[in-house]
């Protein structure tokens, strides 16, 4: 693959950097094609357990490419939205942990991209928002759904209906991001979190993610049944045997 996006694999971590700073890393059709190709590669790589997305320059992703979208027909807009939401769904359904290291502007499609990740760490300089209504459209990459699930209906409606931007500290206060750090510490904080995750059983983390992602779409009794089934599946793994043996033997587990 010849990608503008920078892909760096270091052990069990894959760091992906959006690398079109002149365009504020806008979500163009070409960028989406690259991201789908990258996910196809990651789906085949069992070594990678944590994927970090970040941006080069002033933006994480400052939104979609409006010059590209401006002349779309309704049919073309529907196809574009599907291609985008398919990308985010692939991330949610993949058995890896996705972390958004939000370095700068995460607006529109960039905010939606971050919402599709499992965890968000933000630079103190970052800005978040879904300003689509100011352009005569609504968030079409899952923003109306994921934001409400994450921060609650009231705050989500306020942010979407006004199109206003919020800073990193406000994003943390409402639960949109997990941590806020200074920009120069963003990579270190993200790698520290990734390594905390990687100390654990990746099969257990994978099943936990499946339970959370799938369970939120179910009624509570059905979701509890799913959790029980995934809990039972853990006992068919080598990780469960190693983890519990290590606990009883008072040693650190050696997960494969």
Q: Go through the domains of the chain in sequence order and give each one's CATH number.
A: 6-198 (3.90.226.10), 202-248 (1.10.12.10)
Of 8, 20, 76, 112, which is the active-site residue? 112
pLDDT score of 247 more than 90: yes
Of 37, 76, 132, 242, which is the active-site residue? 132
Does 184 participate in catalysis according to the annotation? no
pLDDT score of 1 more than 50: no
**DSSP class of residue 27?**
B
Q: List the one residue out of 190, 205, 181, 150 whose CA is nearest residue 51.
A: 190
Task: Please tell me the least confidently modeled range out of 1-5, 82-86, 217-221, 245-249.
Answer: 1-5
Contact of 24 with 59, CB cutoff 8 Å: yes
φ and ψ at 98, to 5 degrees?
-105, 125
For 29-46, write each residue's pLDDT tens digit. 899 999 999 999 999 999
- The CA distance from 139 to 101, in Å, is 21
pLDDT score of 225 more than 60: yes
For 187-197, write each residue's pLDDT tens digit. 999 999 999 99
Q: Is 24 helix (H, G, I), strand (E, B) or coil?
A: coil
Paired strand residues for 218: none
- The CA distance from 225 to 154, in Å, is 30
Q: Provide the pLDDT confidence category of residue 64 given band limits of 50, 70 and 90.
A: confident
Contact of 179 with 214, CB cutoff 8 Å: no
pLDDT score of 101 more than 70: yes
pTM of the model: 0.94
Q: Provide the pLDDT confidence category of residue 256 given band limits of 50, 70 and 90.
A: confident
**What integer best gives the mean pLDDT of the chain?**
96
Q: List the one residue out of 49, 56, 46 whose CA is nearest residue 4.
A: 56
φ and ψ at 10, to 5 degrees?
-130, 100
Q: Which two tokens stand for residue 94?
A: 């993949």
Instruction: Give me the pLDDT at residue 216, please.
Output: 92
Does 8 participate in catalysis according to the annotation? no
Beta-carbon contacts of 7 under 8 Å, excluding residues fewer than 6 positions away, are 14, 15, 16, 38, 41
């Amino acid at each position: 693959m010849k990608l503008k996006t920078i892909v760096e694999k270091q052990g069990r971590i894959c760091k992906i950097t959006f690398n079109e700073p002149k365009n504020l890393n806008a979500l163009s059709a070409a960028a989406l094609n690259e991201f789908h190709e990258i996910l196809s590669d990651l789906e085949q790589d069992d070594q990678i357990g944590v994927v970090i997305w970040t941006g080069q320059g002033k933006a994480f992703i400052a939104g979609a490419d409006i010059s590209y979208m401006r002349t779309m027909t309704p049919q073309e807009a529907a196809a574009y939205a599907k291609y985008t939401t398919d990308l985010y769904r692939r991330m949610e359904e993949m058995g890896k942990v996705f972390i958004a290291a939000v370095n700068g502007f995460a607006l529109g499609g960039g905010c939606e991209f971050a919402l599709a990740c499992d965890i968000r760490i933000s630079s103190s300089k970052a800005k978040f928002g879904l300003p689509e209504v100011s352009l005569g459209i609504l968030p079409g990459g899952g923003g109306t759904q994921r934001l409400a699930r994450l921060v609650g209906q009231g705050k989500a409606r306020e942010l979407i209906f006004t199109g206003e931007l919020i800073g990193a500290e406000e994003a943390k206060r409402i639960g949109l991001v997990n941590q806020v750090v200074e920009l120069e510490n963003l990579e270190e904080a993200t790698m520290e979190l990734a390594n905390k995750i990687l100390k654990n059983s990746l099969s257990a983390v994978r099943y936990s993610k499946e339970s959370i992602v799938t369970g939120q779409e179910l009624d509570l009794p059905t979701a509890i049944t799913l959790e029980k089934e995934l809990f039972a599946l853990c006992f068919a793994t080598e990780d469960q045997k190693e983890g519990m043996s290590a606990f009883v033997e008072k040693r650190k587990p050696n997960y494969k």
